[in-house]
Amino acid sequence: MFYHIKELQYNAKPSQPDPVYAKKLQEILGGQYGEMSVMMQYLFQGWNCRAENKYKDMILDIATEEIAHVEMIATMIAQLLDGAPANDQEQAAKDPAIEAVLGGMNPQHAIVNGLGAQPNDSVGYPWTARYTVASGNLLADFRANLNAESQGRLQVCRLYEMTTDPGVRDMLSFLIARDTMHQNQWMAAIEELEQTQGAIVPSSFNKEYEKQEVSYSFYNFSEGTESQQGRWANGPTLDGKGSFEYIQDPKPMGQIPDLKPGPAYIHGTPPKEMREAQNQTFQS
Determine whether the annotation assigns residue 66 to a binding site.
Answer: yes
CA 22 – CA 14 distance, rounded (Å): 10
Determine whether the annotation assigns residue 83 to a binding site.
Answer: no
Please, what sign has the CA dihedral across residues 161, 166, 169, 173? positive
Determine whether the annotation assigns residue 109 to a binding site.
Answer: no
Nearest in space to 234 (alpha carbons), one of 154, 2, 225? 225
Please give the span between the terminal C-alpha atoms of the chain, in angstroms, as a whole number.
79
Contacts of 213 (CB under 8 A, 6+ apart): none
Length of the chain: 284
Determine whether the annotation assigns residue 149 to a binding site.
Answer: yes
Determine whether the annotation assigns residue 61 to a binding site.
Answer: yes
Q: Helix H segments across 130-165?
A: 138-161
Per-residue DSSP letter, 26? T
**CA 135 and chain centroid, separation:** 15
Residues 23, 105 contacting (CB under 8 angstroms): yes
Residues 72, 12 contacting (CB under 8 angstroms): yes
Determine whether the annotation assigns residue 165 to a binding site.
Answer: no
Q: Radius of gyration (Cα) for the chain, nearest Å?
A: 27
* Binding-site annotation, residues: 35, 57, 61, 66, 69, 149, 182, 220, 222, 224
* Binding-site annotation, residues for Mn(2+): 35, 66, 69, 149, 182
* Binding-site annotation, residues for Ca(2+): 57, 61, 220, 222, 224
